Amino acid sequence: MPDEPLDPILLQVTIPLPTKMIYAAWTEAKQLEGWMCDAARVEPKIDGAYELTWSGVEGFTSHGTIRSMTPEVDLEFGWTAPPAFAALMNPPAPSTHVYVRLQESPEGIDVTLEHVGWGSGGAWEEARSWHFHLWDSRLERLKSYLIQQAYG
């Protein structure tokens, strides 16, 4: 009997700012470059590019495309993994994707990130752990970045 696939990564941060501002941080290249990555190329439409590039020693580009989007509500994009996990996660097509949802709450806007499509086994556990830490740190950076943009 094969192992069960790993659970999705599910993270949330609440940001006390307008939905429009938060959504733009996910869909505008210059905004993404302020908190997520070193360079971004985004075509905000279904099947449009969603490419995020990190520079440095372990730099890489995730060559994703937008799978679905509802302005100011949600965004879903394909994900290609960094070199350490590329052989596991990328061929013949990317095996995982990321879904971001914005929802009003009493404290502001809840930003929920779900990264799905994980396989099973030790290599997948390592890849999932790496991505969990990436997304956890990036959501905190998103909140700090947007608050800085709004209030200086």
Give the pLDDT confidence of 22-74 residue by residue, as tens digits.
999 999 999 999 999 999 999 999 999 999 999 987 899 999 999 999 999 99
In a domain, 72, yes or no: yes
In a domain, 50, yes or no: yes
Domain count, the chain: 1
In a domain, 4, yes or no: no
DSSP bridge pairs for 115: 9, 98
pLDDT in tens, 95-139: 899 999 999 999 999 999 999 999 999 999 999 999 999 999 999
Contact (CB, 8 A) for 95 and 119? yes
**99's torsion region: left (phi>0), alpha (psi -120 to 50) or beta?**
beta
| Element housing 122 (H / E) | helix 122-151
DSSP code, position 131: H
Q: Whole domain around residue 91: which residue ranges?
A: 9-151
In a domain, 147, yes or no: yes
Q: What is the CATH number of the domain that holds 40?
A: 3.30.530.20
In a domain, 1, yes or no: no
The span from the CA of 85 to the CA of 11, in Å, is: 21
